[in-house]
Amino acid sequence: MNRKTSFIIAGTLVLLLSVLGLFAFTDIEINKPKYSYLEQIRQNNELVVLTRNAPTTYYEGKHGPDGVEHDLIKQFATHLNVNYRVVVKDNTADIIRALANDEGHIAAAGLTQTENRAKDFLFGPSYQPVEQQVVCRRGMDMPDSIEELVGVDLWVTAGASYVETLNKYKTQVAELSWQESSNLDTEGLLEKVWLKEIECTVADSNIVDINRRYYPELLIAFNLSEAENISWLMQKSALGLNNEVKNWFGHLVRKGELASILNKHYGFVELFDYVDLSRFNRRIKKRLPRYTEHFKQAANEFDLPWSLLAAQSYQESHWRAKAKSPTGVRGIMMLTLVTAKEMGVDSRLNPQQSIKGGAKYLRHLMNRLPEEILEPDRTWFALAAYNVGMGHIYDARQLAREQGKDPNKWHDLETVLPLLSQKKYYKKLKYGYARGKEPVRYVQRIRNFQNILERELVVAEEKKLKAFKAELKITTN
**pLDDT bracket for residue 35 (50, 70, 90):** low
**125-172 confidence digits (pLDDT tens):** 999 999 999 999 998 999 999 999 999 999 999 989 999 999 999 999
**pLDDT bracket for residue 10 (50, 70, 90):** very low
Q: Which of 442, 407, 437, 82 is nearest to 256 (CA)?
A: 407
Residues whose CB is less than 8 angstroms from the CB of residue 140 and which lie 6 or more positions away in sequence, other chains included: 199
Is the same domain home to 292 and 387? yes
pTM: 0.71
Is the same domain home to 217 and 238? no
Task: Taking each helix axis as running N to C, give the angle between helix 306-317 and helix 437-476, from 0 to 180 degrees, rounded to the nearest 10.
Answer: 120
Pair 392, 365: CB distance under 8 Å: no
Is the same domain home to 352 and 441? yes
**374-400 confidence digits (pLDDT tens):** 999 999 999 999 999 999 999 999 999
> Has residue 30 been placed in a domain?
no
Q: Which of 193, 188, 182 is nearest to 134 (CA)?
A: 193
The domain of 353 spans: 274-449
**348-380 confidence digits (pLDDT tens):** 999 999 999 999 999 999 999 999 999 999 999
Does residue 316 have an active-site annotation?
Answer: yes
Task: State the catalytic residue, choosing from 316, 371, 402, 414.
Answer: 316
Q: Considering only residues 229 and 59, tell me which one the structure prediction assigns the higher pLDDT.
A: 229
Is the same domain home to 195 and 326? no
> Has residue 390 been placed in a domain?
yes
Is the same domain home to 343 and 288? yes
> Has residue 19 been placed in a domain?
no
Say which DSSP state 113 is in: P
Q: Which of 166, 201, 225 is the last residue of a domain?
A: 225
Pair 224, 133: CB distance under 8 Å: yes
> Has residue 142 been placed in a domain?
yes
**397-410 confidence digits (pLDDT tens):** 999 999 999 999 99
Position 31 pLDDT exceeds 90: no
Q: Which of 463, 455, 439 is nearest to 389 (CA)?
A: 439
Counting the structural domains of the chain, the total is: 3
Q: How far separated are the first and last CA of the chain, in Å rounded?
A: 97
Q: What would the DSSP string read from start to end of 160-222? A: SHHHHHHHHHHTT-TT---EEESS--HHHHHHHHHTTSSSEEEEEHHHHHHHHTTSTTEEEEE
Q: Quick one: pLDDT at residue 65?
A: 87
CATH number of 174's domain: 3.40.190.10
Q: Quick one: pLDDT at residue 263?
A: 86
Is the same domain home to 332 and 403? yes
What percentage of the chain reaches a pLDDT higher than 70?
A: 90
> Has residue 279 been placed in a domain?
yes
Cα–Cα distance for residue pair 396/388, rounded to 1 Å? 11
